[in-house]
Chains A and B, each alone.
Chain A
Amino acid sequence: MDADRISRSADRFVTISDPIVAGIERGWIVHDASKLDRDLHVEADVAIVGTGAGGGVAAEILSMAGLRIVMIEEGPLQSSTDFHMLEREAYPNLYQESAARKTKDKAITILQGRTVGGSTTVNWTSSFRTPPATLAFWRDRYGLTEYSPELLAPWFERMERRLDITPWQVVPNENNAILQRGASGLGIPTAVVSRNVKGCANLGYCGMGCPINAKQSMLVTTIPAALDRGAVLVHHARAERFSLQRDEISGLVCSALDARDQTTLPYAITVSAKAYVAAAGAIGTPALLLRSRLPDPQRRLGARTFLHPVVLSAAAMPKAVDAFAGAPQSIYSDHFLYANRIDGPAGYKLEVPPVHPLLMAVTMPGFGVGGAQLIGELRRLQVILALMRDGFHDDSQGGTVELKRDSAPVLDYPITDYLWEGMRRAFLTMAEIQFAAGAKSVLPVHESAWPYTSWKQARAQIAALPMEILLARVVSAHVMGGCAMGAAGRDSVVDGNGRHHLVDNLYVFDGSVFPTSLGTNPQLSIYAIAARMATRLAQTLGRTTRPPKV
């Protein structure tokens, strides 16, 4: 890596002002529940649980409409001052279950944020509109007639403007460039990713919290805007359950967590509001509703939770790749998403992940000298990932959120043969692309694989790999669904405006409302859909908001 160049370009940011520190000095109302010494009661017009993509957008729009807002977040309030680009700090501090959340059978590792800003504080900034084919499926199957590219366009435009989402102009880092070169050598089209960044120094540490506030996450955009309008933030506070009185929520009970977010303190946090917005993310929102024992006659709650399950392929390149440096995702290919019908054999999107030592070491197969040699080649490692589009085929029903004995959630997600078949094709695609880009060897990330030295060898060996859990490494950073929206209560939990079908003043504005997966990275879909839903809620509550400019 040209370390010099990076520190030089970062020199422009020598004095990094921290908008959170500054806001607190200006007098934001922020309660750190881990420091409580008595019970806390908060009243507001709208209570929002979770401060990620959905919660952040809702907080800004509702507070701009003049409503009194309280935000409840189970994670800590950390900001650029705390972001040191160190994996060993970031994963335990900013991620659910130290970035080691697993599905019930331990077959899939799930990355989700748990901090103010939610997953947007740690995500990789790739921004895509909801694919038209996905929206068409929702209109056909779920009666979501207003979910068309045309009707959503103003909401996408609004959020793209708000979060500085534009195609990445800088030359892709070598990790991404290899995807581009290998694919184009095989005639597979690729394109440039759009990112939500402003003044990005191309550092590559988005996953550990952006140290210079270039990433336009909820932490530095919508949440400060809401706090500037007098919204209240309570962090280290876990929403435990809603109280239901007749058809309405009458209050929200939260617990205060200690500074390390593990044990609960003996103080009660209660919230009363006119309307309640659950935005605790997929898994989090269904879990909250399950704990609240809300009516769910068709047992839809928590069902059909999707992951875009990811498989990976690691190549040893002849020269340094330094995939830990530079914007993590700048090139992608949707070619294999649309090779078949959306409800046909599993399609997949190709991207690359950033390659940092800890995450790579836990992800790569093997141990001892074999494993050591792989990680020893960190600088020459190039990794491609394939995210499988789940939820469109009868044999891809996703997973189900359950509550454990201690009422913490767990996702039971069986990987079906339908998905395994797609994953095997994806291993082949990725290996072929890597060899086309000049890889010395390619290792499908699977315990029974080893670094193959030719495409011919790889093709034969991948065809024979046992596609089984806890042999193939499967990960996910895109949890969606579990509180599906739809026109009818038969197959959904909320309506197209995010309003609960059976509980009058309860709304869900986050990634859990998707009735299927998206087939693309979710953040922009959540921003736009939450903006639309929040604007309608403001109107319902008698407030007007600026309609998005068309």
Chain B
Amino acid sequence: MRPFTRGEFIQTGLAGITLLALAGCMRSNTYAGSPFDDNGYRYRVLSGGDRELIAAVAGAMLAGVLPSEPIAYRAALVQAVRGVDVAVSGLPPGVVDEVRQLFGLLEFPPTRGFAAGVWSSWTNASGSQVASFLLRWRFSGVTLFRSGYQALHQLVMAAWYGGPASWTRIGYPGPPIVS
């Protein structure tokens, strides 16, 4: 691994997104229309708005991980959003309520603007806007925002790295065969 400097390591979330955008992988194009008419799957918990939020967050969190080719990119993102739905639905009811509150705060336009600094809808937010929101919460002086960032991070990472689609890139051979 090439050594990182501090700035690089912490900012790469942001830089990676900008690069992707420059490379011509425009999220807004991929998403013309309603982005998560995901008919192949019945969502247990996530509402349409939740899916748009998670798609935006997952796009930024997994920058550099998701494939860059638009169709594969969208398919991977759909997998990640479904994975988050599965993960949230496995939590106890009290915890699901907390997750809903977090999503609500991020989806209600005034609080999305003031708390997250994102003034457009999640579907229209640019990758770098999403990444700077995540960075702001990650290092916020307000522990509630830091815990919100951690919750999003945990959900997206669990959704993505739980599935074999993610394993090739990281060299994980999957479980051994025992029978």
Q: Which residues of A approach B to under 8 Å, CB–CB?
A: 1, 3, 6-7, 10, 13-16, 84-88, 91-92, 97-98, 100, 105-107, 201, 203, 205, 211-212, 260, 262-263, 316, 324-325, 356-358, 360-362, 366-380, 404-406, 408, 440-441, 447-448, 450-451, 453, 469-471
Q: Name B162's contact: one of A88, A106, A370 (CB within 8 Å).
A: A88
B1 contacts A377, CB within 8 Å? yes
User: Which of B11-19, B23-31, B34-42, B105-113 lies at the interface?
Assistant: B11-19
User: Which of B46-54, B56-64, B69-77, B117-125 lies at the interface?
Assistant: B56-64
A372 contacts B167, CB within 8 Å? no
Known: A7-B176, A357-B172. A98 touches B91 (CB 8 A): yes
Mark out the residues of chain B between 150 and 172 whose CB falls within 8 Å of any chain A CB in the assembled complex: 150-151, 153-154, 157-158, 160-163, 166-167, 169-172
A372 contacts B63, CB within 8 Å? yes
Known: A366-B13, A448-B139. A361 touches B160 (CB 8 A): yes
Q: Name B176's contact: one of A10, A260, A379, A448 (CB within 8 Å).
A: A10
Q: How far is the CB of B159 from chain A (nearest CB, A)?
A: 9
Most buried by B among A16, A263, A404: A404
Most buried by A among B13, B151, B167: B13
Q: How far is the CB of A459 from chain B (nearest CB, A)?
A: 15
Q: CA of A106 to CA of B137 in the docked complex: distance in angstroms?
A: 15
**Quick one: closest A residue to B164, CB to CB?**
A86
Q: CA of A450 to CA of B11 in the docked complex: distance in angstroms?
A: 11
Q: How far is the CB of B60 from chain A (nearest CB, A)?
A: 6
Q: How far is the CB of B82 from chain A (nearest CB, A)?
A: 12
Known: A100-B154, A316-B1, A357-B166. A371 touches B178 (CB 8 A): no
B22 within 8 A of A: no
A–B Cβ pairs within 8 angstroms, 16 of them: A3-B173, A92-B87, A97-B91, A107-B147, A201-B178, A211-B179, A357-B162, A357-B170, A358-B162, A361-B160, A368-B17, A368-B131, A371-B61, A376-B170, A378-B170, A451-B1
A450 contacts B10, CB within 8 Å? yes
Q: How far is the CB of B4 from chain A (nearest CB, A)?
A: 5
- Chain B contributes a number of interface residues (CB within 8 A of A) equal to 60
Known: A15-B179, A85-B176, A361-B157. A369 touches B15 (CB 8 A): yes
Known: A15-B179, A404-B94, A471-B146. A370 touches B4 (CB 8 A): yes
Q: How far is the CB of A200 from chain B (nearest CB, A)?
A: 12
Q: CA of A205 to CA of B157 in the docked complex: distance in angstroms?
A: 20
Besides A368-B131, A370-B9, 20 other CB < 8 A contacts? A10-B177, A10-B178, A14-B179, A84-B175, A92-B86, A100-B91, A106-B147, A106-B151, A211-B179, A325-B176, A357-B166, A361-B157, A366-B12, A368-B16, A373-B12, A440-B1, A450-B8, A451-B9, A470-B143, A470-B150
Q: CA of A358 to CA of B3 in the docked complex: distance in angstroms?
A: 24
A367 contacts B9, CB within 8 Å? no
B93 within 8 A of A: yes
Inside 8 A of B170's CB, which chain A residues have their CB? 357, 375-379
Inside 8 A of B161's CB, which chain A residues have their CB? 87, 357-358, 360-362, 375
**Quick one: closest A residue to B140, CB to CB?**
A470
B90 within 8 A of A: yes
Q: CA of A369 to CA of B12 in the docked complex: distance in angstroms?
A: 5
Q: How far is the CB of B101 from chain A (nearest CB, A)?
A: 13
Known: A7-B177, A368-B131. A450 touches B5 (CB 8 A): yes
Q: How far is the CB of A336 from chain B (nearest CB, A)?
A: 28
Q: How far is the CB of A407 from chain B (nearest CB, A)?
A: 9
B175 contacts A370, CB within 8 Å? no
A378 contacts B64, CB within 8 Å? no
A13 contacts B178, CB within 8 Å? yes
**Quick one: closest B residue to A379, CB to CB?**
B171
Q: CA of A361 to CA of B143 in the docked complex: distance in angstroms?
A: 21
Q: Name A370's contact: one of B12, B93, B153 (CB within 8 Å).
A: B12
